[in-house]
Amino acid sequence: MCMKVEEEKLVNDTIIYVPYDVHFDRSTQEVRCECNIFESLGVLCCHCLAVFHPYKVYKVPTCYVLPRWSKKIKHKHTYVKSSHDVSRSDESHVAFRGLCAHLYNVAQEFVSDHDETALLYAALEETRAKLAAHCAKKRFESVVETHTSIGS
């Protein structure tokens, strides 16, 4: 069904009403507004939210809660240069870009064959596991070293 939702806006000290068509499917609870805010920003607009209430939709459907807005998402380093610790930031940025370029070239060479792609995936996963174990070992050794120096 299609509903017309008016948004009140203040323009040059004058209140104007801007109408928006909002399409709502009661069976799937899918909603689409002609303002396209969800499609462009990933946030439901007030027009869509206004349509939910009369139809007793009191919880935003999960398809409109994008992972980037979740508190449970695991944030990764963005590798954007920072003014903090410039020398280290530059080193990690250069290393990251070099690894990405190398991986890109390797992937391009072996992506056309399914078996080669599967081998590459397996090798990457094996390497990731080895690096994770290496990092865990370094953390353990660091903790042991700290406890040893405290006990001395």
Look at residue 83 and tell me if it is in a domain: no
Cα 101 to Cα 94: distance, rounded to the nearest angstrom? 11
Task: Look at residue 62 and tell me whether its pLDDT is greater than 50.
Answer: yes
Structure confidence by residue, pLDDT tens digits, 3-49: 999 989 898 999 999 999 999 998 899 999 999 888 888 889 999 99
Look at residue 38 and tell me if it is in a domain: yes
Task: Look at residue 83 and tell me whether its pLDDT is greater than 50.
Answer: no
Look at residue 82 and tell me if it is in a domain: no
User: 47 and 14, same structural domain?
Assistant: yes
Backbone angles phi, psi at 31, to 5 degrees: -135, 145
Look at residue 53 and tell me if it is in a domain: yes
Cα 27 to Cα 92: distance, rounded to the nearest angstrom? 50
Look at residue 13 and tell me if it is in a domain: yes
User: 58 and 94, same structural domain?
Assistant: no
Residue 31: in which H helix or E strand, if any?
A: strand 30-33
**pLDDT value for 68:** 72
User: 38 and 9, same structural domain?
Assistant: yes
User: 63 and 102, same structural domain?
Assistant: no
Cα 21 to Cα 147: distance, rounded to the nearest angstrom? 66
Task: Look at residue 144 and tell me whether its pLDDT is greater than 80.
Answer: no
Look at residue 111 and tell me if it is in a domain: yes
Query: How many separate domains does the chain show?
Result: 2
| Residue 24 CB coordination number (10 Å) | 19
**pLDDT value for 122:** 92
What's the average model confidence in pLDDT over 64-88? 59
Domain limits for position 7: 2-69
Q: pTM value? A: 0.45
User: 52 and 95, same structural domain?
Assistant: no
Look at residue 22 and tell me if it is in a domain: yes
Look at residue 75 and tell me if it is in a domain: no
Cα 69 to Cα 116: distance, rounded to the nearest angstrom? 36
H helices present in the chain, as ranges: 37-41, 46-52, 86-110, 114-151
Higher pLDDT, residue 1 or 70: 1
User: 63 and 7, same structural domain?
Assistant: yes
Q: Is 15 exposed, middle or buried (0-12, 13-18, 19+ CB in 10 A)?
A: exposed
Cα 24 to Cα 55: distance, rounded to the nearest angstrom? 10
